[in-house]
């Protein structure tokens, strides 16, 4: 049975204006996130992961804009909505968690005030007492100890791990359809990171939400992803289930990423640097943008952008060498 799609992104093109010139950063990206599914986005620093999430949330910096494409949440087109309509959607249907929880928490207000106000904005009929009871229950669910005392505290009085839990509790209380997490655990120590990941997995099941998750850590991807997309220089170069990507990577770039080095001490997998670097957005590379770094490149890679080819059901790669293509 086909799963209900929560997020459908089609042919997304996002550009930045630098010195009065427009430079595309996302070059026509498409992907979906289904209910009860975690889609992980991987790729080197600068490949466009954050720009992708910021485009979906419509929180791009002032010099960035979505040029074309479509972004649908539960079937509703988001592009072209007014800022106040988008604000409503961000507060209700899209939950966001970031690396630094302080970007979402107001340092001047107690946790209790922020949580109950949020709940009452969401559900107008809720009394103060009811909102407080709900806030306590959410803090309990995310494993915050002594929640009554936490409600009276200010964000700076909590540790980083606790702040992250509070942010997740606040987000859960909104019961979003889609959860967007951009490197949410990078700043946390390993034990707390594990707990947060378990929490997100539980959240996905209990709320039947979709999760769009960005991380540098392939160990985390292996643990939480249902499907994975690999970005390179603003294009999707591979997509598949977590097994397809880990066990049978098709694109030379994905294979490079997969040659990850386990860091036993930290219990993580670090992406081993692939020789060379990503092209600068102001100096795009012709053909396949990975070709200058690709050991397997053939003549055609320099001039023709490879299309995405389905190599097995649900598994796609954009490389001239896959799917029986030849030079």
Ligand X SMILES: Nc1ncnc2c1ncn2[C@@H]1O[C@H](COP(=O)(O)OP(=O)(O)OP(=O)(O)O)[C@@H](O)[C@H]1O
Give me the least distance between CB of 52 and ligand X, in Å please: 7
* CA neighbor of 35 nearest in space, from 157, 211, 175, 170: 211
179, 184, 188, 189: CA torsion to nearest 10: 80
Measured distance CA(58)–CA(266) in Å, rounded? 35
Q: How far, in Å, CA of 47 to CA of 172, rounded?
A: 29
10 Å Cβ neighbour count for 311? Answer: 19
180 binds ligand X (CB under 6 A): no
Nearby residues of 57 by Cβ (< 8 Å), 6 or more positions away: 90, 94, 96, 180
State the minimum distance, in angstroms, from the CB of residue 12 to Mg ion.
16
Token pair 């030079």 is at which residue? 327
Check binding of 50 to Mg ion (CB under 5 A).
Answer: yes
Considering the complex, state which of residue 35 and residue 99 has its C-beta at the smaller distance from ligand X: 99
Which residues between 31 and 50 bind ligand X (CB under 6 A)?
A: 43, 45-50
Count of residues touching Mg ion (by CB under 5 A): 2
Q: Is 61 in the site for ligand X (CB under 6 A)?
A: yes
CB nearer to Mg ion: pick between 16 and 138: 16
In angstroms, give the least distance from the CB of 32 to ligand X. 20
Rounded-to-integer distance, Cα 85 and Cα 68, Å: 19
Sign of CA dihedral 227, 229, 223, 59: negative
Closest approach, Cβ 181 to ligand X, in A, equals: 13
Residue 97: partners with Cβ closer than 8 Å, 6 or more residues away:
104, 164, 167, 168, 171, 179, 180, 181, 182, 184
- Residue 271 interacts with, from ligand X, Mg ion, none (CB under 5-8 Å by kind): none
Residue 184 in contact with ligand X, rule: CB under 6 A: no
Phi, psi of 323 (to 5 degrees): 70, 30
50 or 70: whose CB is closer to ligand X? 50
Q: How far is the CB of 25 from Mg ion (least distance, A)?
A: 12
Of 281 and 308, nearer to ligand X (C-beta) is 281
Select 45 or 191, whichever has its Cβ closest to ligand X: 45
Output 200 or 231, the one with its CB closest to ligand X: 231
Please state the closest distance from residue 258 (CB atom) to ligand X, in A.
17
Residue count at the site for ligand X (CB under 6 A)? Answer: 15
- Comparing CB distances to Mg ion, the nearer of 49 and 93 is 49
Q: Answer yes or no whether residue 112 interacts with ligand X by CB under 6 A.
A: no
Q: From 16, 32, 87, select the one nearest 234 (Cα to Cα).
A: 16
Q: Residue 283 interacts with ligand X (CB under 6 A)?
A: no
SS3 content of the chain, % helix, strand, coil (to 5): 35, 25, 40
The phi, psi pair for 249, rounded to 5°, reads: -65, 140
Q: Does 313 bind ligand X (CB under 6 A)?
A: no
> Which parts of this chain interact with Mg ion (CB under 5 A)?
49-50
Residues forming contacts to ligand X in the complex (CB under 6 A) are 16, 18, 25, 43, 45-51, 61, 63-64, 281
């Amino acid at each position: 049975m086909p799963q209900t799609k929560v997020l459908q992104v089609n042919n997304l093109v996002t550009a930045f204006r630098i010195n009065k010139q427009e430079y595309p950063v996302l070059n026509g990206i498409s992907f979906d996130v289904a209910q009860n599914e975690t889609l992980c986005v991987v790729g080197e620093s600068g490949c466009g992961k954050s720009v992708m999430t910021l485009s979906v949330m419509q929180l791009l910096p002032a010099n960035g804009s979505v040029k074309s494409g479509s972004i649908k949440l539960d079937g509703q087109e988001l592009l072209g909505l007014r800022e106040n309509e988008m604000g409503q959607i961000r507060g209700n249907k899209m939950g966001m968690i970031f690396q630094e929880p302080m970007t979402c928490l107001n340092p001047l207000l107690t946790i209790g005030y922020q949580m109950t106000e949020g709940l009452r904005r969401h559900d107008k009929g809720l009394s103060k007492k009811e909102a407080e009871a709900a806030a306590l229950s959410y803090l309990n669910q995310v494993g915050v100890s002594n929640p009554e005392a936490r409600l009276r505290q200010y964000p700076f009085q909590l540790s980083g791990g606790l702040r992250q839990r509070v942010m997740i509790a606040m987000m859960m209380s909104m019961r979003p359809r889609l959860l967007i997490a951009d490197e949410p655990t990078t700043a946390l120590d390993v034990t707390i990171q594990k707990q947060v990941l378990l929490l997100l997995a539980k959240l996905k099941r209990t709320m039947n939400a979709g999760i769009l998750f960005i991380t540098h850590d392939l160990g985390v991807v292996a643990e939480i992803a249902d499907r994975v997309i690999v970005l390179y220089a603003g294009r999707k170069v591979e997509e598949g289930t977590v097994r397809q990507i880990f066990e049978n990577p098709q694109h030379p770039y994905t294979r490079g990423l997969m040659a990850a080095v386990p860091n036993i001490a930290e219990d993580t997998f670090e992406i081993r640097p692939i020789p060379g670097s990503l092209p600068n957005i102001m100096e795009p590379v012709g053909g396949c943008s990975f070709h200058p770094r690709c050991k397997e490149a053939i003549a055609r890679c320099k001039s023709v952008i490879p299309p995405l080819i389905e190599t097995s059901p649900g598994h796609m790669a954009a490389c001239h060498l896959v799917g029986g293509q030849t030079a």
